[in-house]
């Protein structure tokens, strides 16, 4: 009983940490000034948040098959998410998307 | 949106403005006559559904009732759906080819090799997983949600991933270097799609040849247990749908990437810095 309570507590801690990172990603996408900085927030915080949440859910799952599936999803996300971020950033860089500088105004005009 | 400029446009605009509300009203009135959603007294609930729920597993050997209905009881409808998907691929090919796209010539940007080590390594890891999962979805459709359509789309997206990262196959013509093939070419995708839809119709015709009705698989000489025969034939149908969908996804991607270049849409990789 004590072990399962400990597992549950640890899982809740992981879930809370995951939700914190996802919240940080959302705030980053809304508040950061240009494409690259937004991508930076999304790529890092989404991967961390999703990984931690999935790890917490895997600990909470009753069925071993569910745990294994969640760990597989975790592995997939850990490879696919950073790769997608890299591909987006590379494509934007090649397409000539301008990088934001602190002395330029942010917003739609500064986004190009 | 914009004001009509001359006579013909105005007539067409007025016809459209009249036809749209009429069609909309007709559809709304028709919808009002339909039975309530989930109405236990509707014909579908009193006659059709109980029959499927009680007999589907024993008759077709498919634990997933949706698969039994889609690929067996209503196989004719699914043949039509598959033909629609095939026609969408053909339509895209014909329209974009007519607009100036030349088949088997890759466009820059959308289908040019992306040339990134990270993407290359990640694709090497991910594509086999995606393709394997597509086949799993196809075969497991008998038991769990899934089947030919879903598996085919997954397989096609795996092919698109390879195209995006490594570029399509094409012969060098002096201006462009020869690029080795990863996955089927446009022609190969088209052959896959054709093979799928012909295989579907072929299974139906084979059932006729052995004395049954079109797409009534019970008569096929695949064993003595009719449910098992139907199970095998359903898997054949699902595999045919899988081929058609995967091939069509490949055709759509290739024709659109070619059409984009030919239509003069600016592509990112031609403007920015290149490594």
pLDDT tens digits for range B60-74:
777 788 888 888 888
Considering CB atoms only, which of B119, B269, B273 is closest to A83?
Answer: B119
Q: Look over chain B and give the mean of its residue pLDDT values, rounded to a whole number.
A: 78
Measured distance CA(B273)–CA(A91) in Å, rounded: 10
Element at A45 (helix H, strand E) = helix A35-60
Q: What integer pLDDT is reported at residue A67 of this predicted model?
A: 92
Q: What are the b/e assignments for B37-59, b being 16+ CB within 10 Å? A: eeeeeeeeeeeeeeebeeebeeb
Q: What integer pLDDT is reported at residue B33 of this predicted model?
A: 84
What region, left, alpha or beta, does residue B104 occupy, with left being phi > 0 and alpha being psi -120 to 50 degrees?
left
CB contact under 8 A, A95 and B116: no
Q: Is B56 a member of any domain?
A: no
Q: Could you tell me which residues of chain B have a Cβ less than 8 Å from any Cβ in chain A?
A: 114, 116, 118-119, 122-123, 125-126, 129, 268-269, 271-274
User: How far is C-alpha A93 from the geometric centre of its chain's CA atoms?
Assistant: 21
Chain A nearest-CA residue for B130: A76
Chain A nearest-CA residue for B129: A76
A99 touches chain B (CB under 8 A): no
**Residues from chain A contacting residue B119 (CB–CB below 8 Å):** 83, 86-87, 90
Tell which wins on pLDDT, B101 or A83.
A83
CB contact under 8 A, A86 and B272: no
Q: Is B250 a member of any domain?
A: yes
Q: What integer pLDDT is reported at residue B100 of this predicted model?
A: 53
Name residue, tokens 């069925």: A63
- Quote the tokens at residue B67: 């698969």
Q: Is B207 a member of any domain?
A: yes
Q: Is B27 a member of any domain?
A: no
Measured distance CA(B80)–CA(A65) in Å, rounded: 37
Q: What integer pLDDT is reported at residue A106 of this predicted model?
A: 55
Q: B246 CA to chain A: closest CA distance, Å?
A: 22
Q: Is B43 a member of any domain?
A: no
Measured distance CA(B140)–CA(B145) in Å, rounded: 8
Q: Is B17 a member of any domain?
A: no
Looking at the DSSP bridge assignments, the partners of residue B179 are B170
Q: Is B28 a member of any domain?
A: no
In a structure prediction context, what are the per-residue pLDDT tens digits for chain B, which is 275 residues long? 445 456 678 888 999 899 999 999 999 999 888 888 778 888 778 888 888 888 887 887 777 888 888 888 888 899 999 999 999 988 888 777 665 545 445 445 454 556 678 888 888 888 999 999 999 999 888 778 888 899 999 999 998 888 777 765 554 555 555 555 566 777 788 899 999 999 999 998 988 888 888 888 878 888 778 788 888 888 889 999 999 999 999 888 877 776 554 444 433 333 333 33
Neighbours of B93 (CB within 10 A): 23
Chain A nearest-CA residue for B268: A95
Give B3-56 pLDDT, tens digit per residue: 545 667 888 899 989 999 999 999 999 988 888 877 888 877 888 888 888 888
Q: What integer pLDDT is reported at residue B263 of this predicted model?
A: 42
Q: Is B55 a member of any domain?
A: no
**DSSP per-residue string spanning chain B:** -PPP-SHHHHHHHHHHHHHHHHHHHHHHHHHHHSPPTT-TTSHIIIIIHHHHHHHHHHHH--SSHHHHIIIIITHHHHHHHHHHHHHHHHHHHHHHHHTT--TT-PPTTTSS----HHHHHHHHHHHHHHHHHHHHHHHHTTTSS--HHHHHHHHHHHHHHHHHHH---B---SSS--B--SS--HHHHHHHHHHHHHHHHHHHHHHHHTTS-TT-GGGSSS-S-HHHHHHHHHHHHHHHHHHHHHHHHHHHHHHHHHHHHHTT---GGGTS---
Alpha-carbon Rg for chain A, nearest whole angstrom, is 18
Do the Cβ atoms of B70 and B78 come closer than 8 Å? yes
Chain B nearest-CA residue for A88: B119
**What pLDDT band is residue A111 in, cutting at 50, 70 and 90?**
very low
Tell which wins on pLDDT, B255 or A51.
A51
CB contact under 8 A, B119 and A80: no
Question: How many domains are there within chain B?
Answer: 1
Q: How far is CA B190 from CA B51, B126, B137, B165, B246, in A?
A: 39, 25, 22, 21, 10
Task: List the domain range (segments joined by +) for residue B111.
Answer: 64-262
Comparing CA positions, the residue from B159, B165, B184, B156 lying closest to residue B123 is B165
Q: A1 CA to chain B: closest CA distance, Å?
A: 35
Considering CB atoms only, which of A80, A86, A91 is closest to B268?
Answer: A91
Name residue, tokens 């080795």: B180
CB contact under 8 A, A94 and B268: yes
Chain A nearest-CA residue for B120: A83
A112 touches chain B (CB under 8 A): no
| Best A65, A92, A95 residue to mutate vs chain B (most B CBs within 10 Å) | A95
Considering CB atoms only, which of A80, A90, A96 is closest to B116?
Answer: A90
């Amino acid at each position: 009983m004590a072990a399962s309570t400990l597992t549950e507590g640890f899982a809740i801690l992981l879930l809370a940490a995951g939700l914190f990172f996802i919240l940080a990603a959302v705030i980053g996408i809304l508040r950061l000034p240009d494409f690259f900085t937004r991508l930076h927030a999304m790529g890092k915080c989404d991967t961390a948040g999703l990984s931690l949440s999935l790890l917490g859910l895997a600990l909470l799952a009753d069925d071993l098959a569910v745990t294994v599936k969640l760990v597989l999803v975790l592995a997939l996300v850990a490879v696919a998410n950073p790769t997608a971020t890299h591909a987006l950033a590379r494509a934007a860089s090649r397409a000539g998307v301008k990088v934001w500088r602190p002395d330029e105004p942010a917003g739609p005009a500064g986004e190009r | 949106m914009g004001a009509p400029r001359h006579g013909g446009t105005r007539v067409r605009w007025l016809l459209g403005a009249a036809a749209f509300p009429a069609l909309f009203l007709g559809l709304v009135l028709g919808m009002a006559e339909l039975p309530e959603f989930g109405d236990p007294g509707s014909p579908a609930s009193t006659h059709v559904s109980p029959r499927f729920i009680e007999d589907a597993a024993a008759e077709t050997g498919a634990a997933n009732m949706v698969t039994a209905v889609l690929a067996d009881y209503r196989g004719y409808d699914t043949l039509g759906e598959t033909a629609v998907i095939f026609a969408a691929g053909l339509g895209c090919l014909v329209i974009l080819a007519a607009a100036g796209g030349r088949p088997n010539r890759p466009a820059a940007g959308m289908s040019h090799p992306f040339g990134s080590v990270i993407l290359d390594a990640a694709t090497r890891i991910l594509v086999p997983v995606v393709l394997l999962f597509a086949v799993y979805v196809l075969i497991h459709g008998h038991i769990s949600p899934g089947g030919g359509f879903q598996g085919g789309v997954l397989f096609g997206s795996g092919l698109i991933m390879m195209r995006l990262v490594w570029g399509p196959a094409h012969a060098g013509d002096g201006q462009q270097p020869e690029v080795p093939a990863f996955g089927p070419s446009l022609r190969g995708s088209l052959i896959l799609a054709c093979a799928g839809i012909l295989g579907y119709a072929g299974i139906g015709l084979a059932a006729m040849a052995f004395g049954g009705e079109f797409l009534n698989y019970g008569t096929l000489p695949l064993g003595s247990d009719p449910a098992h025969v139907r199970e095998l034939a359903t898997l054949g149908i699902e595999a045919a749908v899988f081929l058609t969908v995967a091939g069509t996804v490949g055709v759509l991607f290739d024709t659109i990437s070619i059409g984009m270049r030919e239509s003069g849409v600016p592509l990112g990789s031609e403007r920015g810095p290149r490594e």
